[in-house]
Amino acid sequence: AQTVTQSQPEMSVQEAETVTLSCTYDTSENNYYLFWYKQPPSRQMILVIRQEAYKQQNATENRFSVNFQKAAKSFSLKISDSQLGDTAMYFCACDKLIFGTGTRLQVFP
């Protein structure tokens, strides 16, 4: 069975600083996708970034980037130049419909 683990229930960062959210997963699949989703208080789940497991290059999307370590089954999210609007719950997910328990990120001015 697939599992996704987020070991940081809460994180905080000052505006303009960098923060990294951790995620580890377990899957028996060879080809799969990994996602980071953001869920602000409005509860609308929004895709932040996506990584295809067969690609060695780490995905980047503006201020968001991942550190994908396939052998270690690790998929961390780095947010650079944090903004107040980044405050939200962040969920790591594996494409077989499994989500982690989330990390609550608070960005302080």
Partner 1 sequence: GAGVSQTPSNKVTEKGKYVELRCDPISGHTALYWYRQSLGQGPEFLIYFQGTGAADDSGLPNDRFFAVRPEGSVSTLKIQRTERGDSAVYLCASSLFPTDTQYFGPGTRLTVL
Where along the sequence are the contacts to partner 1 (CB under 8 A)? 4, 32-33, 35, 37, 42-47, 50, 91, 93, 95, 97-102
Question: Considering beta carbons, is residue 52 or 81 the nearer one to partner 1?
Answer: 52
Buried b (16+ CB within 10 A) or exposed e, 50-75: ebebeeeeebeeeebbbebeeeebeb
Report the nearest approach of partner 1 to the CB of residue 41 (Å).
12
User: Closer CB to partner 1, residue 17 or residue 29?
Assistant: 29
Shortest spacing between CB 6 and partner 1, in angstroms: 8
| Closer residue to partner 1 in complex, CB, 93/107 | 93
CB count, 10 Å around CB of 87?
17
* Contact criterion met (CB below 8 Å) for 49 and 77: yes
